[in-house]
Homo-oligomer: A and B are copies of this chain.
Amino acid sequence: MTYCVGLLLNAGMVLLSDTRTNAGIDNISTYRKMFTFEEPGERVIAILTAGSLSTTQTTIARLEEAINDPDAPSIMTAGTMLNVAEMVGDTLSDVSSKVADKLGSKAQSARASMIVAGQRRDGAPRMFLVYSEGNFIEATSDTPFLQIGEHKYGKPILDRVVKPNTSLAEAQKAALLSMDSTLRSNLSVGLPLDLAVIETDACRVTRQRRIEADDEVYQKMSADWSIALRESFANIEIEGAPGD
């Protein structure tokens, strides 16, 4: 499995993905699930992927092929971010169907989903969750984050702290702690992590890092969070008994 999360804030977008891929629990590999495309100052797009690796790799390869073909329409030439989401959706749906045809009765495992985030010059930053069928939903100020893969473990912390006016520093912390909860509770999600920050109107990837398993800053944050949670838990006083 996978866990990827994207936060759409006033100050910009924060994207985080894990790298664990497994074909059965005894065949575990590390694959990048974050892909960024940029023409600095003009356009920036990040795509995060979850689901069938054969479907997502082929989809990304096709999108890249189109970018490199001067005659083909591509996500780097599409008129709007909405067109970009449609283009990713159409490609994903097409690849997913073809892989499903080959798999026959195991077609379920050809499914994949993607978070598509980006901004073009003169446009607003936008973020979409594209489903296997090619349809998509968009992040809004009511719901300023999107998740794909093993999304449930890490949702409570996001529900509580992420608002459109959350700063980029706080948002990175929220994304990393959401990932931390998922890593602890689900073996199919694993380090290293890929983190990207796209500041609003920069139209470029402002910051991109790979966080390895031995990253001291991440380890300390994770340990501090464990201690803080345990202390918070210990400090909650139930006065009386619920239900009495």
Report A's interface with B, CB cutoff 8 A: 150, 152-153, 155-157, 159-161, 169, 172-174, 176-177, 181, 184-185, 195, 207, 209-212, 215, 217-218, 220-221, 224-226, 228-233, 235-244
Name the B residues within 8 Å of A225 (CB-CB): 232, 236
Given the interface contacts A156-B185, A159-B184, does A176 sit within 8 Å of B209 by beta carbon?
A: no
Residue pair B221, A238 in contact (C-beta under 8 Å):
yes
- Asked if A244 meets B230 with Cβ closer than 8 Å, knowing A153-B155, A173-B236, the reply is no
Task: Tell me if A's interface is mostly helix, strand, loop or mixed.
Answer: helix
Nearest Cβ distance between residue A218 and chain B, in whole angstroms? 4
Q: A185-B152, A217-B241, A217-B242 are in contact. Are A226 and B177 (CB under 8 A)?
A: no
Bound-state CA distance A150–B156 (Å) is 13
A161 near B233 (CB under 8 angstroms)? Answer: yes
A160–B195 Cα gap in the complex (Å)? 25
The residue from B211, B212, B243 contacting A195, defined by CB atoms under 8 A apart: B243
Q: Known contacts A153-B155, A185-B159; is A174 also within 8 Å of B233 by CB?
A: yes
Q: How many identical subunits does the complex contain?
A: 2
CA gap between A161 and B85 in the complex, in Å: 42
Given the known interface contacts A153-B153, A156-B153, the answer about A177 and B243 at a Cβ–Cβ threshold of 8 Å is no
Given A160-B230, A230-B160, also A215-B243 (CB < 8 A): yes
- Inter-chain contacts of A177 with B (CB < 8 A): 233, 236
Measured between beta carbons, the chain B residues less than 8 angstroms from A156 are 153, 156, 181, 184-185
Task: List 11 other contacts, CB 8 Å, given A152-B185, A224-B237.
Answer: A156-B185, A159-B184, A160-B229, A161-B229, A173-B238, A174-B233, A177-B233, A209-B242, A209-B243, A229-B232, A231-B232
CB distance from A12 to the nearest CB of B (A): 15
Q: Give complex CA distance A184, B161 in Å.
A: 13
- Are A242 and B226 neighbours in the complex by a CB distance under 8 Å? no
